[in-house]
Amino acid sequence: MRRSRSLLLSVAAAVVAAGMALYAVTPASAAATTATFAKTSDWGSGWQGQFTITNGGSSDMTSWRVEFALPSGTSVGSYWDALLTTSGQRYTFTNREYNGRVAPGQSVTFGFVGSGSGSPTGCLLNGVSCNGTVTPPTTPPTTPPTTPPTTNPPSGTTPVAKNGQLKVCGRQLCNAQGKAIQLRGMSTHGLQWYANCVNDSSLDVLAKEWNADVLRISMYIQEGGYETDPAGFTAKVNDLIEKATARGMYAIVDWHMLSPGDPNFNLARAKTFFTTIAARHKNKTNILYEIANEPSEVNWSSIKSYADQIIPVIRAQDADGVVLVGTEDWSSLGASGDGQGVSRILANPVNASNIMYTFHFYAASHDDYYLNTFRDAIAKLPMFVTEFGTQQASGDGGNNFAMAQRYLDLMAQNKVSWVNWNYSDDMRTGAVFTQGTCNAGAYSGTSRLKEAGVWVRDRIRTADDF
């Protein structure tokens, strides 16, 4: 009896020793796998929080579950990139089908909005302590050390100096004095491709020779955009905002989602991005937020739901910035679909004030049917044309200047602001500069402009009615 017991004990000791040896050769097992929490913004009565789950192990994690408690008076509202079950004050988040797998050394995040002032406690990741610190509420993100201090707009006669903070009044865009105004300007091409076309000298030309009122900063999310390098693209947008500001132009921060067409696909990214941008630039008077470039293959209620979630995130930082909301079927107000987009917006408008809806058109593709849809919308909704071209919807092919002029006349009569696509030297006809212009750094005058460039420059240069 004694003998077999001591045998058992020594077997047990060997197992423990083997286990420890195993642990020693693969040090990064459960102990280094963490779920860390941070409040990415806090507005007193609520906050936005994010968990980062990091696989410190040596094999793939195939699913995850994060559980924690919140004190009474604090609860979870909307959330993203996870599924949620609740039991009283206990919250259990599990992975979505697309983010359950986490390779060694990799991280995934999910986030949510908390109402109240408490923070998560008793966190468990897959049933084991999260091992991460629950960081205390942080102040909104501060300026990254690499970006220069924020710029003050010049005084004098620039568009921003004359008009100040814009506000939607009725269906119009109004300046700080309450006067309805029209802005006209240019959109960049995708910053992942043509950032070399937006620099101090090209923007001097845009502001001083073209007399542009507004620069649209077009940051793609997919196709090599934001999702590949959030910090890098955020820094680039910050830099271009400062450059527009220094020249007295308005800046539209264009969240250039395109494919997939459901803006909710990028909701978590949009929340992170717009929180950072709005916190940094909230004291400027020249920022407009375009939250969804071109939704497609998604119904209006999903676009509205996205807008209803992202606008409070922006407003928590920058209470008075005008927000521009994309519309059905590539911001065609549904004209590229069943044509009923305007009535669906009217029946179920975005739940916020100080917003406008967007319309995009390409004059060689979008004739009277689109123009009539747009005319109808102008009479009923606050509208902003954040993108148009004089050519086909591909941004290429022959120009239809006569059709484009009909749109411009309608917009002038109704003081609808517009932005043309695009201020780059891409090979397509819709890029204003001939190929090679940006490398040559020769933006001044008209010798480097394509036909569409000459045409739109003439129409941006005419006097403003501020």
Please say which residue, 29 or 394, places its beta carbon nearer to ligand IDC.
394
Clarify whether 387 is annotated catalytic: yes
d(CA 258, CA 326): 11
Please return the burial class of 397, using the count of CB atoms within 10 Å of its CB with bins 0-12, 13-18 and 19+: middle
d(CA 205, CA 445): 8
Nearest distance from C-beta of residue 191 to ligand IDC, angstroms: 12
Please say which residue, 287 or 393, places its beta carbon nearer to ligand IDC.
393
Please say which residue, 318 or 426, places its beta carbon nearer to ligand IDC.
426
Phi and psi (nearest 5°) for 187? -100, 145
d(CA 178, CA 170): 11
d(CA 456, CA 173): 22
- Choose the binding region for ligand IDC from 278-286, 306-314, 421-429, 456-464 (rule: CB under 6 A): 421-429
422-461: contacts with ligand IDC (CB under 6 A): 426, 428
Residue 258 is a binding residue for ligand IDC (CB under 6 A): yes
Residue 161 host element (H or E) = helix 159-163
By DSSP bridging, strand 383-389 and strand 418-421 are parallel
Nearest distance from C-beta of residue 230 to ligand IDC, angstroms: 19
Nearest distance from C-beta of residue 362 to ligand IDC, angstroms: 6
Catalytic residue among 242, 294, 297, 451: 294
Residue 293 is a binding residue for ligand IDC (CB under 6 A): yes
Residues 6+ apart with CB under 8 A from 73: 116, 117, 118
Clarify whether 67 is annotated catalytic: no
**Radius of gyration for the chain, computed over Cα atoms and rounded to the nearest angstrom:** 26
Tell me the per-residue interface mask from 313 to 342 with ligand IDC, x by CB under 6 A, - otherwise: -----------------x------------
Residue 420 is a binding residue for ligand IDC (CB under 6 A): no
Residue 294 is a binding residue for ligand IDC (CB under 6 A): yes
Please count the other Cβ atoms lying within 10 Å of the Cβ belonging to residue 461.
13
By C-alpha distance, which of 352, 359, 354 is closest to 333? 359
Residue 222 is a binding residue for ligand IDC (CB under 6 A): no
Please count the other Cβ atoms lying within 10 Å of the Cβ belonging to residue 98.
9
d(CA 334, CA 328): 5
Residue 418 is a binding residue for ligand IDC (CB under 6 A): no
Tell me the per-residue interface mask from 368 to 407 with ligand IDC, x by CB under 6 A, - otherwise: -------------------x-----xxx------------
Residues noted as catalytic = 294, 387
Provide the binding-site residues for ligand IDC, judged by CB under 6 A: 223, 258, 293-294, 330, 360, 362, 387, 393-395, 421, 426, 428
